[in-house]
Chain A
């Protein structure tokens, strides 16, 4: 009991990581209100209509993002066990798949869609939802880039890799958002 009070002035690094973890989760909770509101907007305005989109492309980008989450998890697991090679490889894979997702959505889907952002509720909702999500993917990619760069310089270890954990958690969150956006945009309702 008495040893506790002396630790008060400078709490342990481990405790600080726990606080960071809570902070990131609070951010995720906050951010998910944006995506939740976008889902509500989609169903409020479109109901059981859905925009006319390229089904195969939707399935491909969804798969790409899910696989990227797998590699992200693998990277975090690896660094937690001091396996640097797997960590670096998997982080790089996640990064590449993230860029591939962006190319799929912005480069292809935005060009193939038969409507622009100003064409009715379909256009507004499709570009807003994919755009907001893509913005988050982009920030995740930048975050991963920083992690990869510092990882290559040997910054992380099993004991100290909060940045990797944070990047991973953020990345998975962006994946979870897409898990709901994909059916909402591509699968639910009729064209």
Chain B
């Protein structure tokens, strides 16, 4: 029991409850003094935010900053040595690798929760007619499935970026380790609030939260907004930290065009997350204020305009797609040369294409609004800018194909997921232009076709690369390999199941199935396809379950892999696994190109203790 109380997470949740009560008390007290009675909504909203602040205090994420405010000194980061053992993962740690694992576990928990929501409403949809969900429950599950998985993706990206980026660039840690911990822990109360929406009557809008419906819905809407708002700040601060780390913490010799390609994609992603995320936060905040204070931003009867919300919302939420996929595409480019044993084709072009996608991504948000009633002269410019995205994305595909060409390809599990990711993302890419073209989108908008399309982009751009990354870097984290048989089972079950599911979704969409609708007419004749889609969904869940079993099983029982298991040139594999605190015993120097696999006499990094033995050879740069 005493152990539990000393654990940061438990303290955080305890203080979150206290803080929520304090917030409720503050609103109610002020209203009482003004002669007003109890009102649930403002009380719970302030309770949510005060609770989150108390959580951050309780967990200990602001302790050092508070010491700075008091003018006291704190330990330098390289002086801190965490105790080993499992408990440090449940409290504040400044070690980027611990934070990476914390992000990763949180992300996988949310993945399981969000996926379960989908299984529930997929079961409802397996047959026409209403079986066991009410409309309200169905809508809540659909909306939460979307947003919980978006948060899961953001945290999953943060996990990989946090764990891997400092290792790849030869830094001891992130640029701002305290901010790093703060950003992670902010996501915990945020996610708790988001999930709590179920218990406050749910919400009906889907993950987009469009007014006017979101202005009228139950209190769950506010919890949804509050949860996303906090997670948004988590994402912003994490991105800020990553940019500063990449720009300032690189080891000597690592100029921009010798950075690992994954680092480029993290940089591009972080630029989007740093800036665009503010707009979803603001738009949600404005709806919250509209509900609490009656401010008429989006109420046409009160001087507002609901279309404005869509502009603000999609200014983030389209680029957000690139936040989700760019790191995944970076992982594909990063791992492909390792398993093909050939240099990455067109390194500079691939690096620049990430920035290009990020840049163009800011100019395309209107393609979500072709049917919204926005000014019609905006349609064609947004159509062209949207189709322009195909150019930098195409560069990545050319690079991958050319890298694979005539390679001596190996097929361990991570490579399977890399190849799977390429194929699935290709499907996502090919099904995109019909949505970006005005004439076809007017028919496809809000149908299951769109659902099928973006599940392809999310799986190809995030889920498959995520699994590839986990299978690939797992030995670096644990010193053990994940079980290959279970890994292959995972892959060969999930991939066909996924194609069945997403093509089924596209089929019913083309036949007229609308998104976010709990029921459909049996006369439309796609009951069977819906059933197959549901079965596909459950098979994916089974495959992910196998993955989870593998993940836990291999931590203790996996075959020991201390050395460079994948024969990678990357610096993190040149030192024994698992990676130690502060990453490298000696700094290394970059002396060559990162992906010159198969070229004799080339070297990417040189370690200084090795340099000493080789004399002056390593200090050429």
Complex A–B touching at CB under 8 A: yes
User: Chain A at the B interface: mostly helix, strand, loop or mixed?
Assistant: helix
Residue of A nearest to B290 (CB): A124
In the complex, given contacts A31-B278, A34-B279, A118-B294, what are 20 additional A-B residue pairs having Cβ atoms less than 8 angstroms apart? A1-B621, A5-B587, A19-B176, A20-B176, A23-B179, A23-B244, A26-B274, A30-B274, A34-B278, A37-B279, A37-B282, A37-B312, A41-B312, A44-B305, A45-B303, A45-B305, A118-B293, A124-B303, A127-B295, A163-B68
- Chain B, residues 239-255, CB within 8 Å of chain A (1/0): the string is 01101100111011000
Residue of B nearest to A4 (CB): B252
Ranked nearest first, the 8 interchain pairs of A and B with the lowest CB-CB distance are A121-B303, A118-B294, A124-B295, A120-B303, A8-B587, A33-B278, A150-B71, A19-B248
Which of the residues A30, A45, A125, A163 comes within 8 Å of B236, measured between beta carbons?
Answer: A30
Q: Which residues of B contact A123 (CB under 8 A)?
A: 295-296
Q: Which residues of B contact A9 (CB under 8 A)?
A: 78, 172, 587
A155–B67 Cα distance when bound, in Å, is: 13
Which of the residues A8, A18, A31, A122 comes within 8 Å of B252, measured between beta carbons?
Answer: A8
A interface residues, how many (CB within 8 angstroms): 42
A146–B68 Cα distance when bound, in Å, is: 9
Interface centre among B76, B294, B295, B315 (most CB of A within 10 A): B295
Residue pair B608, A5 in contact (C-beta under 8 Å): yes
Residue of B nearest to A143 (CB): B69
Residue of B nearest to A27 (CB): B240
Q: Which residues of A contact B312 (CB under 8 A)?
A: 37, 40-41
Distance (whole angstroms) from the CB of A56 to the closest CB of chain B: 26
Does A2 sit within 8 A of B, measured CB to CB? yes
Q: Which residues of B contact A128 (CB under 8 A)?
A: 286, 289, 295, 297
Does A22 sit within 8 A of B, measured CB to CB? yes
A124–B274 Cα distance when bound, in Å, is: 27
- Chain A, residues 138-157, CB within 8 Å of chain B (1/0): the string is 00000000100110010100
Taking beta carbons and an 8 Å cutoff, which residues of A are in contact with B? Answer: 1-2, 4-5, 8-10, 15, 18-20, 22-23, 26-27, 29-31, 33-34, 37-38, 40-41, 44-45, 117-118, 120-125, 127-128, 146, 149-150, 153, 155, 163
Does B580 sit within 8 A of A, measured CB to CB? no
Residue pair A124, B304 in contact (C-beta under 8 Å): yes
Q: Which residues of A contact B247 (CB under 8 A)?
A: 22
Distance (whole angstroms) from the CB of A97 to the closest CB of chain B: 22
Segment 284-337 of B: residues with Cβ below 8 Å from A: 286, 289-290, 293-297, 302-305, 308, 311-312, 315
Q: Which residues of A contact B241 (CB under 8 A)?
A: 23
Does B276 sit within 8 A of A, measured CB to CB? yes
A sample of 16 cross-chain residue pairs with beta-carbon separation below 8 angstroms, ordered by A number, consists of: A5-B589, A8-B251, A9-B78, A23-B179, A26-B274, A30-B236, A30-B277, A33-B278, A33-B279, A34-B279, A41-B308, A44-B311, A118-B302, A120-B302, A123-B295, A128-B289
Does B619 sit within 8 A of A, measured CB to CB? yes
A38–B283 Cα distance when bound, in Å, is: 10
Q: A44-B305, A124-B303 are in contact. Are A118 and B296 (CB under 8 A)?
A: yes
Taking beta carbons and an 8 Å cutoff, which residues of B are in contact with A? Answer: 68-69, 71, 76, 78, 170, 172, 175-176, 179, 236, 240-241, 243-244, 247-249, 251-252, 274-279, 281-283, 286, 289-290, 293-297, 302-305, 308, 311-312, 315, 587, 589, 608, 619, 621
Distance (whole angstroms) from the CB of A9 to the closest CB of chain B: 6
Q: A5-B608, A23-B175, A37-B312 are in contact. Are A117 and B304 (CB under 8 A)?
A: no
Q: A9-B587, A34-B282, A128-B295 are in contact. Are A121 and B304 (CB under 8 A)?
A: yes
Q: Which residues of B contact A31 (CB under 8 A)?
A: 278
Q: Which residues of A contact B276 (CB under 8 A)?
A: 33
Q: A26-B243, A45-B303 are in contact. Are A1 and B297 (CB under 8 A)?
A: no
Residue pair A45, B274 in contact (C-beta under 8 Å): no
A2–B608 Cα distance when bound, in Å, is: 10
Residue of A nearest to B171 (CB): A8
Q: Which residues of B contact A8 (CB under 8 A)?
A: 170, 251-252, 587
Residue pair B69, A45 in contact (C-beta under 8 Å): no
A33–B281 Cα distance when bound, in Å, is: 11
Q: Which residues of B contact A118 (CB under 8 A)?
A: 293-296, 302
Which of the residues B69, B275, B308 comes within 8 Å of A33, measured between beta carbons?
Answer: B275
A44–B298 Cα distance when bound, in Å, is: 11
Q: Which residues of A contact B236 (CB under 8 A)?
A: 30
Q: Which residues of B contact A122 (CB under 8 A)?
A: 303
Distance (whole angstroms) from the CB of A112 to the closest CB of chain B: 19
Distance (whole angstroms) from the CB of A5 to the closest CB of chain B: 6
Residue of B nearest to A10 (CB): B78
A149–B312 Cα distance when bound, in Å, is: 40
Residue pair A23, B294 in contact (C-beta under 8 Å): no
A170–B293 Cα distance when bound, in Å, is: 29
Residue pair A29, B294 in contact (C-beta under 8 Å): no
